[in-house]
């Protein structure tokens, strides 16, 4: 076996979930406890040390579950999930110790976190990022078109043989197509053999992060109303988070307001009628970033063009860092908006889009947000064709409305702010 084949085989073993989890338990739990005990043998039986050992095991399990939940979504490199997931797991057990006042070994707990994160990044650098998924395609129906999606090694099958899929990570087929009997038997055999068999529509959505809207069927969403339990919980968490952030946000807003006042004449805040939850008009607050603002019913003025000459010097900075959105914390406290959701459009634009784009008003079944799935994937858009594509991302968010997707958007929003992606 050649050297590159050995390396590929080793990498494929390391990316197995049970190997990753077992390694995390050994390095993130046992190793800190053993190392501490070698220097201070009395720690092997000390309650604080044993509590830290148990807590690190719980933290590894929580982080592993969090990664599995988030990584099901597209457009995210695993390297971006490692640290947030580990912080979630170890942060929760630390909060538990603080609240319960149980004794714990601080160095053991900290060492478990460091070694856990180091193990996962080593796996990513030397194994995961070198692997490229290979998926077998059953060549019937809509499955023919999926091979155009980049980032995957597509292997179009020429015969219904499991042997031909041995090097593939999964199989994709159009379950709605009229498959010959031998191909139906092939898919059944694949499922019985424990192979992953994808439906072409769901796999395409997962890889692109978009839900096509040209033809909506009863299977496009599963339900016309997103999970109501999470809807109300999300609203309560949004409001609570906004209240907690006020002491930090208000001084920052004061600094921004002074900068706007010194930079150009005009009001500090910009108010605009936009369409919110259930199609209701709301007044959205932003910091003013332009010299002049058109009338509410002026469609052209409501669109921000690339390198728009109306934008002030301070406004350019505010837009790039998304600081112009800070006053929308008022909308969140009024239960009109969320931190994360489809961006609310200006009323004049929303009326136009509703007339021109099928199903456009369906995006109002969830609260609009300051950041959203479309924003972290596409950036700012205004033209009709771009809005049509943006709607695919909004519908993906609605279909997979969940806390895990919100967590993913949160971390990608941080990346967007740091890079200035999509700002105008």
**pLDDT tens column, 15-30:** 678 888 999 999 999 9
Give the model's pLDDT for residue 1: 44
> What average pLDDT does this structure show over 367-376?
92
Whether 185 shows a pLDDT value over 60: the answer reads yes
Give CA separation, 130 vs 4, 12, 56, 345, 376, in Å. 12, 10, 29, 41, 25
Report the run of H or E that residue 246 belongs to, with start and end: helix 228-263
Weakest-pLDDT range from 113-122, 177-186, 379-388? 379-388
Give the model's pLDDT for residue 5: 47
373: Cα within 13 Å, side-chain hemisphere: 32
Q: How far apart are CA 325 and CA 18, in angstroms?
A: 43
Q: Taking the C-alpha atoms of 233, 235, 237 and 238 in order, what is their torsion angle to the nearest 10 degrees?
A: 160
- Picking from 377, 400, 342, 378, the residue whose alpha carbon sits closest to that of residue 73 is 400
Weakest-pLDDT range from 17-21, 79-83, 99-103, 179-183? 79-83
Average pLDDT, the chain: 84
Give the model's pLDDT for residue 229: 78
Whether 335 shows a pLDDT value over 70: the answer reads yes
Give the model's pLDDT for residue 356: 82
Give the model's pLDDT for residue 408: 86
> What average pLDDT does this structure show over 322-342?
94
Give the model's pLDDT for residue 218: 45
Better pLDDT: 73 or 310 = 310
Give the model's pLDDT for residue 362: 82
Q: Which residues make Cβ contacts (< 8 Å) with residue 192, sequence separation at least 6?
A: none
Give the model's pLDDT for residue 97: 94
Weakest-pLDDT range from 37-51, 365-379, 384-398? 384-398
Percent of the chain at pLDDT exceeding 90: 41
Report residue 257's pLDDT band, with 50, 70 and 90 as the boundaries. Answer: very high
> What average pLDDT does this structure show over 337-350?
91
Better pLDDT: 57 or 133 = 57
Q: How far apart are CA 298 and CA 240, in angstroms?
A: 36
pLDDT tens per residue across span 273-318: 999 998 899 999 999 998 866 555 555 555 666 667 788 999 889 9
Contact criterion met (CB below 8 Å) for 398 and 365:
yes
Give the model's pLDDT for residue 303: 60
Most confident of 171-180, 236-245, 349-358, 408-417: 236-245
Better pLDDT: 43 or 163 = 163
Whether 126 shows a pLDDT value over 60: the answer reads yes
> What average pLDDT does this structure show over 187-202?
86
Whether 46 shows a pLDDT value over 50: the answer reads yes
Report residue 6's pLDDT band, with 50, 70 and 90 as the boundaries. Answer: very low
Burial group, residue 276, by CB count within 10 angstroms (0-12, 13-18, 19+): buried
Backbone Cα Rg of the chain:
25
Report the run of H or E that residue 338 belongs to, with start and end: strand 338-340
């Amino acid at each position: 076996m050649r050297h590159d084949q050995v390396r590929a085989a080793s990498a494929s073993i390391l990316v197995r979930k049970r190997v990753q989890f077992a390694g995390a338990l050994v390095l993130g739990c046992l190793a800190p406890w053993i190392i501490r005990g070698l220097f201070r043998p009395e720690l092997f039986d000390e309650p604080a040390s044993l509590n830290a050992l148990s807590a690190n095991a719980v933290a590894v399990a929580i982080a592993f579950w969090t990664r599995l939940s988030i990584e099901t979504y597209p457009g995210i490199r695993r390297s971006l999930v490692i640290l947030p997931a580990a912080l979630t797991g170890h942060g929760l057990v630390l909060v538990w110790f603080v609240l319960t006042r149980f004794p714990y070994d601080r160095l053991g707990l900290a060492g478990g976190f460091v070694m856990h994160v180091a193990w996962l990044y080593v796996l990513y650098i030397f194994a995961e990022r070198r692997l490229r998924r290979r998926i077998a395609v059953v060549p019937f129906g809509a499955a023919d078109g999926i091979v155009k999606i980049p980032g995957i090694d597509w292997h179009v099958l020429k015969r219904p043989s499991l042997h031909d899929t041995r090097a593939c990570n999964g199989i994709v087929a159009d379950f709605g197509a009229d498959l010959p009997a031998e191909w139906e038997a092939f898919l059944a055999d694949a499922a019985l053999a424990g192979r992953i068999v994808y439906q072409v529509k769901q796999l395409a959505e997962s890889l692109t992060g978009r839900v096509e809207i040209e033809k909506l069927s009863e299977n496009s969403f599963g339900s016309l109303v997103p999970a109501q339990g999470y809807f109300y919980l999300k609203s309560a968490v949004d409001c609570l988070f906004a209240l907690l952030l006020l002491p930090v946000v208000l001084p920052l807003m004061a600094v921004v307001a002074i900068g706007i006042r010194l930079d150009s004449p005009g009001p500090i805040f910009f108010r605009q009628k936009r369409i919110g939850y259930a199609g209701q008009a709301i007044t959205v607050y932003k910091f003013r970033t332009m010299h002049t603002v058109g009338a509410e019913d002026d469609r052209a003025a409501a669109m921000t063009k690339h390198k728009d000459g109306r934008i002030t010097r301070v406004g350019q900075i505010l837009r790039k860092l998304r600081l112009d959105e800070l006053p929308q914390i008022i909308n969140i406290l009024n239960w009109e908006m969320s931190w994360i959701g489809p961006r609310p459009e200006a009323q004049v634009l929303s009326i136009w889009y509703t007339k021109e784009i099928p199903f456009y008003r369906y995006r109002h079944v969830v609260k609009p947000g300051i950041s959203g799935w479309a924003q972290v994937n596409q950036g700012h858009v205004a033209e009709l064709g771009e809005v049509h594509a943006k709607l695919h991302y909004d519908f993906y968010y609605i279909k997979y409305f969940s806390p895990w997707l919100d967590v993913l958007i949160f971390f990608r929003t941080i990346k967007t702010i740091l890079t200035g992606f999509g700002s105008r």
